[in-house]
Amino acid sequence: MREFPDYFADAEQSFDDARFVIFGVPYDSTSSFRFGSRLAPAEIRKASWNFESFDIFTSIDLSEIPIHDLGNLEVEDKSVLEMVQEVERVSERIIRKGKFPIALGGEHSISIGVVESLKDAFILVLDAHLDFRERYEDNPYSHACTIRRITDRVGVDNVLAVGIRSAGRDELDDARREGLRFMTSRDLRKEGAEGVMDRISGDKVYISLDFDVIDPSFAPGVSTPEPFGLRPDEVIEIIKGLSDRICGFDLVEVCPAYDTGITSVLAAKIVRMVISEVWKNKYMG
């Protein structure tokens, strides 16, 4: 493969001039099946250079959008709580400056830090797993506790999990008792993206995309693959339907060592499509 710059393709603007700010969080210390998602930010950036800057579906050229790549946060040797706090600090700075944050994980626990920095946003989590344990391996900030920690921050009424097809029995009982709203992958097949829109309120929506929500036939290189998942086009239809309301985005749990690079390519393409759709429908009006 040719050598390319180590930043995300078309992210050529300075921080001050950018509307979208990408940053990587190379962290996977609580992973419970496959390790290696800490390598994903670099691989997703590398894959991003595969694509034309012009998006034929939106007629948007990403080279004309003000995007900045902040690089990776130095968190690999930190505790998970320290990592979450660092992600929160950086996210707060990005949001305070009126910019759109895009975080590249890393494991799903990085999302807790971004959500901690948000105000009055509805949180949509696309995930194969319920992630509603109070603690996992005695760690309340494990990737298996992410949705539970998010509900602690914003309230259970402001969270929707979509694509769910795996949970522990006690975890599922707890989620139902607490009132967590979720759609299984079968629910989504029956109702489509419209079913997601019907369950979301407010004019600010943050999307956390755990890549294992996508079926392993499309995205085999993830930390905890789960069959019978979503197709990439189903994910994009949800993003398109919310694109005028999205206030931030993260993409987590890509594990590059477990495929030939196709998962990182798909991840990079989805990041580019998020930027294109949000730019067209939110910022261009």
pLDDT score at 137: 77
Domains of the chain as residue ranges with CATH: 20-283 (3.40.800.10)
Per-residue pLDDT at 36:
82
How confident is the prediction along the chain (285 residues), in pLDDT tens digits per residue? 788 889 999 999 999 999 999 999 999 877 766 778 899 999 999 999 999 999 999 999 999 999 999 999 999 889 999 999 999 999 999 999 999 999 999 999 999 999 999 978 999 999 999 999 887 777 778 878 999 999 999 999 999 999 999 999 999 999 999 999 999 999 999 999 999 999 999 999 999 999 999 999 999 999 899 999 999 999 999 999 999 999 999 999 999 999 999 999 999 999 999 999 999 998 886
In the chain, what's the furthest Cα-to-Cα distance?
A: 53
pLDDT at 32: 60
Q: What is the pLDDT of residue 213?
A: 98
Query: Which segments of the chain are extended strands (E)?
Result: 20-25, 54-55, 60-61, 67-72, 100-105, 122-126, 159-164, 181-184, 205-210, 246-252
SS3 280: helix
Terminal-to-terminal C-alpha distance of the chain: 39
pLDDT value for 135: 72
| CB distance 128 to 229 below 8 Å | yes
108-150 per-position pLDDT tens digit: 999 999 999 997 899 999 999 999 988 777 777 887 899 999 9
pLDDT tens digits for 40-81? 999 999 999 999 999 999 999 999 999 999 999 999 889 999
Ramachandran sector of residue 163 (left: φ over 0; alpha: ψ -120 to 50; beta: rest): left
Q: How far apart are CA 131 and CA 32, in angstroms?
A: 12
